[in-house]
């Protein structure tokens, strides 16, 4: 009797768990569909001409117009390359400065260390728009208006706080026994950093690269303020210029959007494992 009651209770719990799992799976599938639908709609539209777009608004249509991509690339390639240059330069600068600073904050004791670190945390809470006018005046005084350096320098400074915070927390999570063993082996500070910290910080560094590239690629307001030369526009402001150029030619317009988003999609697909691991490692310890 008791065994029968226990078995029936287990069946009920198992059934309830299955229902909950199915409900959660359905909600996640719906959210994924809603998130991917705009990208899918743009992808389908990128292979249509204007007549096909009008006649078959939601569904794919034949023949596929691959020339939309060549037409779009001819107009946005300069913006695309500019964004790539700015993104790579910014990522390199903040990786070097942020990783070294995070290592110093995590492993060295010096007067005012905690105060400086909490000042960095406070700076993370300051809205970027507050610094917009002072930064513009500073960049103008330095003669960097209409140059890619105006973007690289400001993006590097803006992302450096987050990088220092993330790298400090990631390095702090490395066991002390590893550093003690390196010290016993006679490793200096730079050797410890290069041979131990950097290999173990790859997930956090992947997170830094992904967040930086995403921010640089999508940034609009600052690039609009400091770049007036069409040849130096980045993809964020360049797409607006491109959209006004193609007008109602939806095929090339959507093809331009797909080409603009392609680097981030590929980068995230390749580095998603390191990105997610880095987020977890960087949020464990304060």
- What are 64-105's pLDDT values in tens digits? 889 989 988 988 899 999 999 999 999 999 999 999 999 998
In a domain, 53, yes or no: no
In a domain, 99, yes or no: yes
**CA 71 → CA 51, 80, 204, distances in Å?**
17, 14, 38
In a domain, 107, yes or no: yes
**pLDDT per position as a tens digit, 33-70:** 888 888 889 899 889 888 888 888 888 888 888 998 99
Number of domain units in the chain: 2
Angle at 65 between CA 62 and CA 66, to 5 degrees: 130
Q: Of 248 and 5, which is predicted with more confidence? A: 248
Q: What is the pLDDT of residue 18?
A: 80
Q: What is the pLDDT of residue 283?
A: 47
In a domain, 63, yes or no: no
Three-class DSSP category at 50:
helix
Both 37 and 130 in one domain: the answer is no
Both 41 and 143 in one domain: the answer is no
**CA 95 → CA 35, 156, 162, distances in Å?**
30, 10, 11
What mean pLDDT value characterizes the chain?
Answer: 84
Both 79 and 215 in one domain: the answer is yes
Both 110 and 211 in one domain: the answer is yes
Give me the domain span that covers residue 35: 2-45
Q: Does the reported pTM lie above 0.85? A: no
> Could you give the CA distance from residue 101 to residue 156 in angstroms, rounded to a whole number?
14
- Characterise 187 by phi-psi region: left (phi > 0), alpha (psi -120 to 50), beta (else): beta
- The enclosing H or E element of 170 equals helix 148-172
Both 131 and 15 in one domain: the answer is no
Both 21 and 80 in one domain: the answer is no
Both 138 and 276 in one domain: the answer is yes
**pLDDT per position as a tens digit, 118-148:** 888 888 888 777 888 889 999 999 999 999 9
Both 159 and 240 in one domain: the answer is yes
CATH number of the domain bearing residue 83: 1.10.3720.10
The percent of residues in the chain predicted with pLDDT above 70, rounded, is: 88
Q: What is the pLDDT of residue 117?
A: 86
> Could you give the CA distance from residue 271 to residue 282 in angstroms, rounded to a whole number?
16
Contact 103, 174 (CB under 8 A): no
């Amino acid at each position: 009797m008791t065994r029968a009651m226990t078995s029936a209770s287990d069946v009920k719990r198992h059934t309830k768990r299955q229902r909950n799992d199915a409900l959660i799976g359905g909600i996640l599938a719906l959210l994924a569909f809603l998130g991917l639908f705009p990208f899918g709609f743009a992808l389908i539209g990128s292979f249509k001409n204007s007549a096909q777009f009008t006649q078959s608004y939601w569904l794919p249509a034949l023949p596929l117009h691959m020339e939309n991509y060549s037409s779009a690339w001819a107009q946005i390639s300069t913006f695309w390359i500019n964004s790539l240059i700015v993104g790579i330069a910014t990522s390199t600068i903040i990786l070097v400065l942020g990783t070294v600073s995070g290592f110093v904050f995590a492993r060295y004791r010096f007067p005012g260390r905690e105060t400086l670190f909490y000042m960095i945390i406070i700076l993370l809470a300051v809205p970027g728009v507050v610094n917009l006018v002072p930064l513009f005046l500073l960049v103008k005084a330095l003669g960097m208006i209409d140059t890619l350096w105006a973007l690289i320098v400001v993006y590097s400074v803006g992302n450096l706080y987050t990088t220092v915070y993330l790298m400090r927390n990631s390095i702090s999570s490395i066991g002390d026994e590893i550093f003690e063993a390196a010290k016993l082996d006679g490793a200096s500070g730079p050797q410890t950093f290069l041979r131990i910290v950097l290999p173990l910080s790859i997930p956090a560094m992947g997170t830094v690269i992904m967040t930086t590239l995403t921010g640089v690629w999508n940034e609009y307001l600052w690039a609009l303020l400091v770049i007036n030369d069409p040849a130096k526009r980045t993809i964020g402001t360049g797409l607006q210029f491109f959209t006004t150029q193609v007008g109602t030619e939806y095929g090339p317009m959507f093809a331009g959007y797909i080409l603009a988003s392609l680097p981030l999609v590929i980068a995230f697909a390749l580095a998603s494992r390191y990105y997610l691991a880095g987020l977890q490692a960087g949020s464990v310890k304060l």
